[in-house]
Each structure stands twice: as C-alpha cells, then as structure tokens.
Amino acid sequence: MLFCPTCGKNYPAGVQYCPSDQTALRAETTVVGEQIADPLIGETLDQKYLIEGRLGIGGMGTVYRARHVLIDRAVAVKVLNQRFFEDEAARVRFQREAKAAGRLHHQNAVAVTDFGQTAEGYVYIVMELLEGKTLREILTKEAPLETARAVALMLQASAAVEAAHDAGVIHRDLKPANIFVTKRSDVPAVVKVLDFGIAKLAADSLDEDEPNTLTQVGAMIGTPRYMSPEQCNGVDLTSASDVYSLGVILYEMLTGVVPFTGSTPLAIAIKHAQDLPQPPRELVPTIPEDLERLVLHALAKQPEDRPANAAAFRMELLKIADRLGLEHSAVTVIPDLDALRGAGVESPSGRLVIDIARLRETGLFSSGNNEITVIGDRSIPQKENEKPSPGPIRRVNIDVPRRANRFLLAAVLFAVLLFVGIGFVAVWLMSERNPAPANVNTSASPAASPSQTVVASPSPTSHRQPSPSPSPSPTKKKESKVGSIVNKVKRILTKPF
C-alpha cells in the first residue's frame, strides 16, 4: 500500500503519483510496537513558541499548531524537515518563502510574523493560524461550484496574487491545496493564499546570496496539473505563469475537472504545451459565455496571449461579475443617498425599503440579500453635505421625512366620517324602537247616526244601546325631516344599486 505524503491518502501499488496533487507516493512503513511520537510536540522553540500538535506535513516542512507563550496567542509554525538540515539550497528556499510571504501585506495572503533558527538546528516560520478548509477539500466534496461562488473565491485569490506580483513575487505553485478558505460564524468566508515555498522573486529583487541553483533553467518545479506551458518547459517565468494557474483553478471550480490529466507528470506537461483545453461550456452548459472566454484567455499557450498579470486577470473577472450581477466582496462603487432613494420605496412609517434587484441594474451595489431595509435614525441628525462613510453596506441611516401633516389630515377626516356615521346609525335605531303615533281624529260627529234608535224596554227602566263610534276620516301621515332622511338611508342600504 502506498500513501501520499501531502494529502495522506492511500493508493494501490500500481499508482506512482497522487491524482490530487501529483506528489510521488511512498510505501508505508511497518511499525513494530509503539509508534514514535513527534519529538517537537511539547517543546518550546526559541523559548517563545510551545508546540501543541501537528497540523500537516508538506514537501519541505511540517506545520504545527503552537502558542506564543509570552502573549498567549495561537499561531501556526512551519518547521523545515530534518532531512533538509544539511541541504543548503533547501534552507535558502525555506528562508526565501518567509521573505516572499513577509513582503505581502494583504488580507488574502497568509501573514508571516516571524522566522528563526533554534540552537538545535530547527529552521521555522511563524504564520497566522487559520480555521477552515482548503479549496482542494471543498472541490473534492462539492465540485463543480456555483458560478457566483467560484467567481467570489477567485476574486479574492487573484487579489492576493496581484499583491504578490506588485511586490515582485511569482508564486509558481498555485493550486487548490494552497488556497485556504477560512470559515467563521461572525464574518464571511475569506480566502488566503498559502505556501510561497517555491516562489520566485523578480530579477530586480534577487538577493546576492541566493544560489543560482534555485532557479536553474530547465528545472520543472511545481504541480503538473496547474503548471503553465513555459513552467513545464523549464524556461524563465513571468507573472503570466501564475495567471495560467489561476485559469486552471477557475476551470476546475466551474467544471469539477482540470483541463489536462495524465498518468505521469511528463504526460500532463506535454498536454499543457500542445493540446487545447475543452471549452468549459461543453462540460457545464450553464457557465456564462463571458466567463468561459476569460478562462480560455487565461489558458492561452503563449504568455503574451494571456492577461499580463493577476491584476489584469482580476479586472476582467470583476467586469464580468458586474455585468452578470454576481455577488462578490469587491464593491468598487458605493451608492449615494439619491441612488438608494431611486431604487427604493418609502413606507408609511418613514422607512426606505430598497429593491436590490433594481439597484443591481444600475451597477451600484451588490449584496447577498434580496432586499435591505434602510431605517431613518432621527436621533442623530445628519449634517448637510455629509458624505456616507465608505465600506460594505449593511444598514444605511437615511433621514426620510414622515409627512406628518398629511397623515394628521387623513386621521381627522376619518374621525369626522366615523362620527357622522355613528350619528346616522343612532337615529335609525331610535326610530325603530319608538315609532311615531298616527294622527287620528277622535272628535265625534255632532249629528247622530241614522241607524241609532231608542228601543223601549218593557222594564220600568229604559236602556239605551251605545252607538258605535263614527269612522274617522282618513288623513295623510306627515313625515318629519329626520324620518325622511332615515328612510332614504334605509332605502340606500337595502337597495344600493
């Protein structure tokens, strides 16, 4: 059984190189009895860095988790492997990695804080301790990535390479294993470019004591699947070589595969130099055409046919991201208050609700949410001609007039209508309970009815039969004004049409 010293995966005996990182496989050693513990764990380097555990093993060094005993801060310490103690070229290259990374002061490049050598001969580099996953681990489980996510990661990685090119450093070993994606609960993911172990300094910044053997013409150094054609041929490199590697990484993020593979590093190198890559849209049709053109532009065989450096590559990627409306952290234009008002709708409470889709159409803002509520804070008045502070926009304080007079007038009108309506209802209810009495004429006619007769009774006392009351003459009922209004309201309510 063979294993990869870089990623630690096991492979059968017929495989010579790791398919993930093209590292030469090694045979596993048979351990009899207890395994020998790492002698550095528990030791303190230069009386400052207490080694707490091992994080990983690389080609030239081993990375440990350590703690600065004086300030009680967790750090990462990379120690040169013991087999290189007597190798002067390896020691100089290790020191050059510290110098190359130390030149960079960028949020997307790993920060190197110290370099030293102990009395026992251990050479070490102290770096910031990162928490998260490498891009290789992410691609192994999730490739291909969504277009927006791939572009966002590449924008940050290319920003670090751009800073390296500005400092006169060519990385020469860009690959997913050397791109780290931090993950914290309180901040968005941040990309960090690692491992400047084989970085090459520009010709005008070479140290006088640097051995020429480190950059000999004809030496193929790097990871074959991500190397440029000129790097495979062992010729002098420019910043365009790193652009080619960025193009390979973006190709893999979008499609899930690298453009060229082979059974041996030499076979892969020949394909890089001679074969044309398969267009990404043939593998994933949903990839935007503009993004495919950029990838193929970065994978051009000749260095002069690619973007000259990481800055030019990143600028093209930024323009594509803005045209497609993709989310990214590189917001180059901050919208002013007029632009926010033009893309928002004012609510009755005085808040300005911004439609991010409409704001994207103007190319002024990009965010991860579908809408953002902007609240006017009246407790802190804004000064005249005060410009908004630059930075990522999460909540913007905008003083929006509440139009109190209009709302007060509407409230008064509503109260009057309600009072009148209540009055009509009250009158109607009273008329239903106490109906008006009919006007009846109760006065009797002075003339007696002809049918009235006096009947003599045989008894000594006479009895007169009462005569019926005369029928009153019909008279028309006279309605009051209030009753007339009530009747009209009732007719309207019963038959509105």
Alpha helices in 35-183 (DSSP H): 88-103, 135-142, 147-166
Indicate the DSSP class of residue 131: -
CB burial string 424-453: b at 16+ within 10 A, e below: eeeebeebeeeeeeeeeeeeeeeeeeeeee
Q: Cα–Cα distance between 30 and 441 in angstroms, integer? A: 132
Q: 73: which DSSP letter?
A: E
Whole-angstrom Cα Rg for the chain: 45
121: which residues sit within 8 A by CB, 6+ positions away?
85
**Is residue 248 classed exposed, middle or buried when 0-12, 13-18 and 19+ CB atoms within 10 A define those classes?**
buried
Of 376, 312, 355, the C-alpha closest to 158 is: 312
Phi-psi region of 62 (alpha: psi -120 to 50; beta: other; left: phi over 0): beta
The question of whether 173 is a catalytic residue gets the answer yes
The answer to whether 178 touches 194, Cβ cutoff 8 Å, is yes
Cα(275)–Cα(264) distance, integer angstroms: 16
Whether the CB-CB separation of 330 and 159 falls below 8 Å is answered with yes
Residues 256, 143 contacting (CB under 8 angstroms) = yes
* List of residues 6+ apart from 209 with CB closer than 8 A: 92
54 near 63, Cβ under 8 Å?
Answer: yes
DSSP letter at 83 equals: G
Q: Kindly name the residue from 38, 46, 114, 173 that is annotated as catalytic.
A: 173
Helices 147-166 and 239-255: angle between axes, nearest 10 degrees: 170
Q: Are residues 232 and 269 in contact, defined by beta-carbon separation less than 8 angstroms?
A: yes
Determine which helix (DSSP H) or strand (DSSP E) holds 482, and give its type and residue range: helix 481-494
Positions annotated as catalytic residues are: 173
